[in-house]
Every structure is written in structure tokens, then in C-alpha cells.
A = this chain, B = another copy of it.
Amino acid sequence: MRWLRYSVQGKIFTGYLKDEWLHAVEGAPWGDWQKINITHALTEVRIEVPVIPRTFYAAGLNYVKHIKEVAQSKGESAVIPGAADVGYRAVNALLQHDGDVIIPADAGEKIHYEAELVVVIGKEAKNISEKDALSCIFGYTIGNDVSERDWQKVDRTFFRSKNCDTFKPMGPWIDTDFKIQGAKTRVTVNNVETIEFDTDAMLFDIATFISRTSRYATLYPGDVMWMGTDGTSPNIKGGDVVEIEITGLGKLRNRFIKATA
């Protein structure tokens, strides 16, 4: 099943997709919801960010090729983390599918995408074991962890480098049937493929991340956990269009625009 948040003339709905039609509901997809008598064609709505999380978790270094290439670009030797590296991002930065990523006027040239699988939590969880961890997942979507590498290097926090407005495209929908086994993450820039990697080639898997995070933080329905990326990105310029496809999850597409002042 695919769940969307979408708007029609500025009014926001939550609904599920069936045969290219959106059926609006009242209530949260992961809770008690009732179908209401409103349908729209997928083509006539504006797709919105599929969920506004209370807390926005993000795995840091979680794919080996990414870790090696990042280290190489800094002239350092790669250090593989010994435990799941839990981080977090700021909600202001979320952007819908087909929205424009605005590169700030004072940003440098090293604007990079990071193609990520996103887990959407459906049940409250604290101190959940790895064995039970997947039971608190509602579904999956796609995220693009846009980063400004010069700021990431010099700033003491990831605020500017990763959390400028529009730096976190997420969507287009939440899919509750996704299976990670055999899934590929594929990125194109202006329709040219830049990378394809096995989505499940994670250093620490989803169950490990959920269990580890829940040792310190209560996960709530609607929270999201971004699972990290592999490889590195070319520099993305104003006018470029980045598309991220994950098998079974569809495609997240965003154009980049350079702000002029």
C-alpha cells in the first residue's frame, strides 16, 4: 500500500493510492483511520512531504564505499565505525518530491546528494531488541541528504551543511510493502546515471539502528530514520535535476536552483 500527503488548492490531505487514484482518510496511516468520501487523481494533486516527523533520525556512515571515498577525499585513511552511528537532522529542511532544492547564495561548489532509504516508524518503541526491531516499522520512502561539504568541514555542527531549508527532499510516498532484499538504489543527474548500489549493503542494518537508537530515545509513530548512503556525489549545480530510485519505492525527483542573494 502507498500512502501520501498531498494538497489540492492549498488544503492538505492524507490518503492512499489505488489505481492512480488517491483516497483521502481521516487519522494517521499507522493509526485508526477512516476513509472519507474524497478522491483525487494522482495527477491533479501536489505531492507533499509524506510525513512531518517529531524526530528526524539519520544514520551517519553506513556504507563502506561511501566511508572510503569520503576518507580519500580528505586524504585520510578510512575508519569503519564500530557501532551504529546515530545522528539527526532538522525538520525545517524537509522538501517534497518535485520541489526545488535552493542552494544558498554563499554556498560553495561542493553541493552533494546522498541517496538514502528512509524508514518510517509506526509504533512507539523504547529499548526494543534487534530481533523485534522491524515490528515497529510502518513503511519506507526515499530521502536525499543534500550536503554542503565546505561547511560540513569547517562548522562545529551540521546545521548549515545539512539542514538549510530544502536540503532534505523526502518522498514521494510511504510504501508499506517494500522489501529490501535485492533492492537497488540508483541515482541519475540530468538523466545520466551516477551510481547504483545494493540498498541492503549497509554496515549496520535497519534492525541494529532501530534497536540502538531506542536504547536512548523513544521512537514515535511518524518518526523517520534515514539509513545512510553509498559512494560519493559529483558537485551539483543550479539547474541540475537529481532523481533517486529505489526498487519498489518509485522515484524522488528534485531540481536544484542557486539562490542569487
Contact = CB atoms under 8 A, between A and B. Distances in A.
A61 B155 CA distance: 12
Contacts of A61: 156
A90 interface: yes
Contacts of A220: 92
Contacts of A104: 215-216
Contacts of A91: 54-55
Contact of A216 (B81, B85, B126, B159): B159
A231 interface: no
A160 interface: yes
Nearest to A79: B156
A164 interface: yes
Contacts of A250: none
Contacts of A55: 90-92
Interface residues of A, number: 34
B217 A86 contact: no
Contacts of A163: 88, 216-217
A87 to B, nearest CB: 4
A157 B90 contact: no
A60 B160 contact: no
Given A165-B217, A165-B218, A87 B160 contact: no
B60 A157 contact: yes
Contacts of A93: 217
Interface of A: 52, 54-57, 60-61, 81, 85-88, 90-93, 104, 126, 155-160, 163-165, 213, 215-218, 220, 223
